[in-house]
Chains A and B, each alone.
Chain A
Amino acid sequence: MCGIAGIAPADGGEVLLETLACMGGAIRHRGPDGYGFFTAPGVGFVHLRLSIVDLSGGAQPLTNEDGTVVVTFNGEIYNHPELRRELEARGHTFRTRSDTEVLVHGYEEWGVEMLHRLNGQFAFAIWDASKRSLFMARDRFGIRPLFYTIRNGRLYFASEVKGLFASGEVPAAIDPAGLDEVFTFWAARAPRSGFAGVQALEPGSWALWRDGSLTTRRWYSLNYPEAREEPLDALGELDELMHDSVGMRMRADVPVGAYLSGGLDSTITSTLAAEASPFQLRSFSITFEDPRLDESRFQRAVAESIGTEHAIAAIGETAIGNSFPDVVWHAETPLIRTAPAPMYHLARLTKESGIKVVLSGEGADELFLGYDLFKEVSVRRFCLRQPESTIRPRLFDRLYPYLADGSRGGEFWRKFFLEAGAPDDPLFSHLPRFELTSWIRQFYAPDFAASLAGTDVRADLRDSLPEQFPSWSPLNRASYLETSILLPQYLLSSQGDRMAMAHGVEGRFPFLDHRLFEFAAALPTRSRLQGLKEKEILHRWARRILPDSAGARPKQPYRAPDASSFFGPGAPSYVQELLSGETIHNSGVWAPRAVAGLVKRCQSGRVTTFRENQALVAILSTQLWTQRFMNNPIRSAALDVNGADVLIQNKAGS
């Protein structure tokens, strides 16, 4: 796991080491263990290393035997030993034990087709001197990030956007459509970002830069070839895949730990990791000081039952409020919730405990239909088949008992779900969420709203859906939207990669092994969601492998305090200034009068609803984001070129 950045001028011009040193300096947190440079006519790479595999020999950038293929790589190729044996049998000579080197030889041997052989999480760039081309690629689910932009005939890329800006050659500006996506979908959808002209390489895609032109292609697409019946050996296959996926993700030359929330998914990954670990597994969780949200008792009980050495970071509103500017700096986007902040603190605890690789349970809810949203789809469709029924909508009370609370409110929620779109709308499953999130858009400043004339992000999404989409079942359509929007662009990035890498911690996600995804996507949906019982097959299988005392906790939504972190006693001092009428006016996104009304309600403690909480977080995070990124040069310390572990400088003709 690492950070990468680079520049490729179309005219074959020189790339200055000093520029690369500035780009690398801005993302140094991703790879604090070392760094290296490569320059040649028409290209320059920098690599920041978090050393996990081949601690002594894995420094980058790395080349092939004759130096004509050079890679800078962020991520892990879990099946590198198997690929290495295959490549050695075909005559390739390896100089290191690192997984990075299989990319170099794999590219030589198979070209683009190499990607299909990789089991891992990765973003990398390969310079092919013989073709004078730059090849970039990203893993199937978008676990590792990669951003790029083209300015004045030069391609710039980096693991984080701040790396691009730190070059001093890429100005930062807002992309209104990107922000409109954030305030509809929770995140901009790749290739869009919140920054004008800055693209995210889409998950499962590659890009080729040659002769000043960039071609991008998708090399992996989600598909749902749903079977009518569950295969007889489904549990056996799931067992084998889970063990193999976790086993592969335990491959490292440093101790591997685990995030353990006490829920089913992380209990599974931690149990299998504890079995596979040669040491007592270290596990980590976050909890809240607020007793109503405190889950430490469950977490300790689960840790004890599977025998891990567990550490808990307990945080409160003050910690969230104080760290929020750093959280936004690392997330590089406005946010809707403060939920990334606890993950930031969790990564810090992990790092301080001496662990830099953790297994985590992300992906299980998407694969096995664990979210309430999937149940909502079933209930909404069921109700809409008999719109006059007053009994059917009572199912929402079972789905969301905390919303049904007495007779107050339940009726509204039922209406809310049933009036949010027709079942034949491709976005049917997600319309209640999009509607709720879009409420934020009422706070737009008139000029900002005007700049969005002609932009319809929901229409863009509908237009982007794959050809097979209508042929999938409603639940698989919902699963596709969740797996292609929120998972890569929010959960794995704002809440995942960016928060972990802020502290140099690498997350690994056993459920996001593509073989497991393909297994789950081919199951009948009732094996995943049976009535209102989520992750049915996963529960069935987990009974075989989990200790009896584990996994008893009911599913909990992941909640973090929002607006209350920024008001009242102990509120951080930056809040008042950033939300003042003048600052709001200057940033140009929000209407000062509307924000003043919301702030007044926050100050009086009246803000209790989800939509006002999210609006406050959205507005405040946008203010932090514009303050840190717009009109402000990135002032990270540049790397010292003389201290590099690797320095490869190929001059013209050499």
Chain B
Amino acid sequence: MSTLEADVRARVRSFLEENFLYMRPDFVLSDDDRLLERGVVDSMGVVEILNFLEDEFGVKTADDEISEANLGTLNAIGAFVASKS
């Protein structure tokens, strides 16, 4: 696993904690947790994640790439961003 993936995961995690988990300080988010299923984000949250990835990593996402496989977990997001870089 690349350093880039680890960096993406860490920065997305802190983004999620600040913006989506601020009311749940005891929530433990693991790298494999499914973000929609665990209620971390909703559909608008996915849009916010996409905007964050674009601003932070310059990743542009096509509509058909918006899927659980690419964005469903921290691990998936890390791998997705790495694959686009």
A contacts, CB < 8 Å to B: 403, 406-413, 415-416, 442-443, 591, 593-594, 596-598, 600-601, 606, 608-609, 611, 615
Contacts and interface: CB of A to CB of B under 8 A. Distances in A.
7 contacts: A409-B43, A409-B47, A597-B23, A606-B19, A606-B48, A609-B42, A615-B23
Interface string B45-75: 1111010000000000001101000000000
B18 A597 contact: yes
A496 B5 CA distance: 54
Q: Please classify the interface of chain B as helix (H, G, I), strand (E, B), loop, or mixed, using the class held by over half of its residues.
A: helix
A406 B19 contact: no
Given A415-B36, A609-B42, A611-B42, A408 B47 contact: yes
Nearest to B63: A407
A409 B23 contact: no
B44 A442 contact: no
Interface of B: 18-19, 22-25, 36, 42-48, 50, 63-64, 66
Nearest to B45: A609
Q: Please classify the interface of chain A as helix (H, G, I), strand (E, B), loop, or mixed, using the class held by over half of its residues.
A: helix
Contact of B23 (A406, A411, A594): A594
Given A409-B44, A609-B44, A611-B42, A594 B22 contact: yes
Contacts of B23: 442-443, 591, 594, 597-598, 615
A606 B49 CA distance: 12
Q: Which 5 A-B pairs have the closest CB atoms?
A: A597-B22, A412-B43, A409-B43, A594-B23, A609-B44
A591 B23 CA distance: 8
Contact of B42 (A410, A412, A591, A606): A412
A33 B5 CA distance: 72
Contacts of B50: 408
Given A598-B23, A601-B19, A611-B42, A408 B63 contact: yes
Nearest to A442: B23
The interface centre, meaning the residue of B23, B48, B63 with most chain A CB atoms within 10 A of its CB, is B23
Contact of B44 (A407, A597, A608): A608
Nearest to A416: B42
A450 B82 CA distance: 44
A437 to B, nearest CB: 14
The interface centre, meaning the residue of A411, A413, A597, A608 with most chain B CB atoms within 10 A of its CB, is A597
B46 A408 contact: yes
Contact of B64 (A407, A591, A606): A407
A615 B50 CA distance: 24
Contacts of A596: 22
A478 B41 CA distance: 29
B40 to A, nearest CB: 12
B25 A593 contact: yes
Given A409-B43, A415-B36, A442-B24, 10 more contacts: A403-B43, A406-B63, A408-B46, A408-B50, A409-B47, A412-B36, A442-B23, A594-B22, A597-B18, A608-B44
A633 B46 CA distance: 47
B45 to A, nearest CB: 8
Contacts of B22: 593-594, 596-598, 600-601
Contacts of A406: 63
Nearest to A608: B44
B7 to A, nearest CB: 23
A529 B43 CA distance: 29
Contacts of A611: 42
A407 B66 contact: yes
A379 B64 CA distance: 26
B66 A408 contact: yes
Nearest to B21: A597
A202 B24 CA distance: 37
Contact of A408 (B18, B19, B36, B43): B43
B13 to A, nearest CB: 15
A199 B48 CA distance: 44
Contacts of A597: 18, 22-23
Contacts of B45: 609
The interface centre, meaning the residue of A412, A593, A596 with most chain B CB atoms within 10 A of its CB, is A412
B77 to A, nearest CB: 16
Nearest to B50: A408
Contacts of A442: 23-24
The interface centre, meaning the residue of A416, A442, A608 with most chain B CB atoms within 10 A of its CB, is A442
Contacts of A403: 43
Given A598-B22, A606-B19, A413 B64 contact: no
